[in-house]
Amino acid sequence: MSEIRVGLVGYGVAGAFFHAPLIAATPGLRLAAVVTRDPGRQSEVAGRYGAQGVADVRELWERSDLVVVASPNRTHVATAAAAIEQGLPVVVDKPLAGTAEEGRELVRLAKERGVLLTVFQNRRWDGDFLTVRRLAEEGALGEIRRFESRFERWRPTPKGGWRESGGPEEIGGLLYDLGSHLVDQAMRLLGPVREVYCESDVRRQGVSSDDDTFVALTHDGGARSHLWASSVAARLGPRFRVLGSAAAYVKHGMDVQEERLRAGIAPDAPGFGEDEEDRWGELGTVERHRRVRTEPGAYLDFYRGVAAALRDGGPPPVDPESAVDVLTVLEAARLSATQRIVVHLP
């Protein structure tokens, strides 16, 4: 294909701040249509991207060569399956599904129809996580024994919306939202998981889904991951603390790409993914440590990978089977929190 027409389902936070600008900045992709019933949003996508706003997902089939599902979590499976049935490749925002079994069915359907299916696990391309992976590959940390990772915020007043107020059928809450990224990164770094323990709470009035969650994973190799997602952290812990046999890496502050996308900075702008020097992490021990430049964040690499896979027939940037593995761990975490047990995975 000389140009891949992209149909985007949903123009909320995920669609407007992540997918649309990344698609528009990727060579070979063109944002052709966006499903949104809001007249103001329809005008915005037309003016900003030259895309047509449509009211129903069925209007995408003839207008798209690729469908991106960025609608509320409860709609992911049905929308992705409908697109696959039309023979269209699909990108699904995380989480892929509400259960691992639903995820497996989507993967099976995509294989049967011979179309690409991939999952927007964009935090694999966070600059700080790319730095952790580089340090691990170089052996700078030695054997990694514990991986601590946090997505913490201070939001004592709920923002509202389905992510906070919806019940389990909405697949809301932090475990399946930020937890999808936390678990995915841990498994990318340290491999499969054999034991899962979780504490998950609702701390704020007017909220129905978890807003303060901790997950502990034991990986097959013996390393442990301690993962936090919270909306009620009045003081933020380090984004990463990675403890190895030779050294540790400690990094504060979030990856800069989301902040810049929300500010309207184009993801192909010079220096878009570069971390400021005063936010670099430190590598070393108690006695000796040094600052380490953060690798440039690279969210664009996801959609570049999608375009390459469609053009050349290569693998997708995120194997959907790996997203199913993440869902398996998230399901175990929910069971652990509900029954107050450690869940052993086969």
pLDDT, mean over the chain: 97
Q: Could you tell me if 23 and 151 lie in one domain?
A: no
3-class secondary structure for 4-20?
EEEEEECCCHHHHHHHH
Number of domains in the chain: 2
Residues 94 and 210 in one domain: no
Domain boundary (120, 135, 166) is at 120
- Per the model's pLDDT, the better-predicted residue between 328 and 162 turns out to be 328
Antiparallel, parallel or unpaired: β 144-152 and 240-244: antiparallel
Residue at 323 is within a domain: no
The mean per-residue pLDDT over the stretch 256-263 comes to 98
pLDDT on residue 168: 77
The whole-number average pLDDT for the span 100-110 is 98
The pLDDT score that the predictor gives to residue 9 is: 98
92: domain CATH number is: 3.40.50.720
Sign of CA dihedral 330, 334, 340, 344: negative
- Tell me the C-alpha distance between 34 and 20, whole Å: 9
User: Looking at the structure, do residues 105 and 136 belong to the same domain, yes or no?
Assistant: no
pLDDT of residue 165: 80
Mean pLDDT confidence for 274-285: 97
Residue 210 confidence class, pLDDT cut points 50, 70, 90 = very high
Q: Residues 164, 82: one domain?
A: no
Which of residues 71, 89, 120 is at a domain's end? 120
What confidence category does residue 1 fall into, taking pLDDT thresholds of 50, 70 and 90? low
The reported pTM is 0.96
Whole-angstrom distance, CA of residue 249 vs CA of residue 56: 47
Same structural domain for residues 90 and 189?
A: no
- Cα dist. 343→114, 124, 158, 335 in Å? 35, 26, 31, 8
For 146, phi then psi, to 5°, come to -145, 135
Query: Are 250 and 338 in a shared domain?
Result: yes
The neighbouring-strand residues paired with 35 are: 9, 54
Asked if residue 304 belongs to a domain, the reply is no
Examine the domain organization and report whether 94 and 136 are in the same domain.
Answer: no
Burial class (CB in 10 A: 0-12, 13-18, 19+), 65: middle
Helix 127-138 with 178-190: angle, nearest 10 deg: 20
Average pLDDT of the segment spanning 204-222: 96
Is residue 224 assigned to a domain? yes
Residue 160 above 80 pLDDT?
A: yes
Q: Kindly report the CA angle at 72 between 68 and 76, in degrees rounded to 5?
A: 55
Q: Which pLDDT band, with edges at 50, 70 and 90, does 291 fall under?
A: very high
> How many of the other CB atoms lie within 10 Å of CB of 74?
16
Q: Is the domain of 186 the same as that of 85? A: no
Q: Specify whether 66 is located in the same domain as 195.
A: no
**Tens of pLDDT, residues 110-139:** 999 999 999 999 999 999 999 999 999 999
Quote the CA–CA distance of 195 and 216 in Å, as a whole number: 8
> Which of 120, 137, 165 is the endpoint of a domain?
120
Pairing of β 248-251 and β 193-201: unpaired
Residue in 214, 201, 207, 199 with CA at minimum distance from that of residue 156: 207
Number of H helices, E strands in the chain: 11, 15
Q: Indicate the angle between helix axes 100-113 and 76-85, nearest 10 degrees.
A: 10
CATH of the domain at 178: 3.30.360.10
Per mean pLDDT, which range of 85-94, 99-108, 160-169 is the poorest? 160-169
57 three-class SS: helix
Within-domain flag for 103: yes
Whether 268 and 193 map to the same domain: the answer is yes
Q: How confident is the model at residue 20 (pLDDT cuts 50, 70, 90)?
A: very high
Q: Are 261 and 297 in contact (CB under 8 A)?
A: no
Interval 333-337 mean pLDDT: 98
**What gap in Å lies between CA 344 and CA 346, rounded to an integer?**
7
Average pLDDT over residues 277-292: 97
Asked if the structure places residue 318 within a domain, the reply is no
Report the alpha-carbon distance of residue 49 to residue 23 in Å, rounded.
Answer: 10
Q: Are residues 94 and 108 in the same domain?
A: yes
Same domain, 136 and 239: yes
For 62-83, the pLDDT digits (tens) are: 999 999 999 999 999 999 999 9
Identify which of 318, 332, 331 has the alpha carbon closest to the alpha carbon of residue 94: 318
User: Residue 346 CB: number of other CB atoms within 10 A?
Assistant: 4
Q: Residue 38: which domain range?
A: 4-120
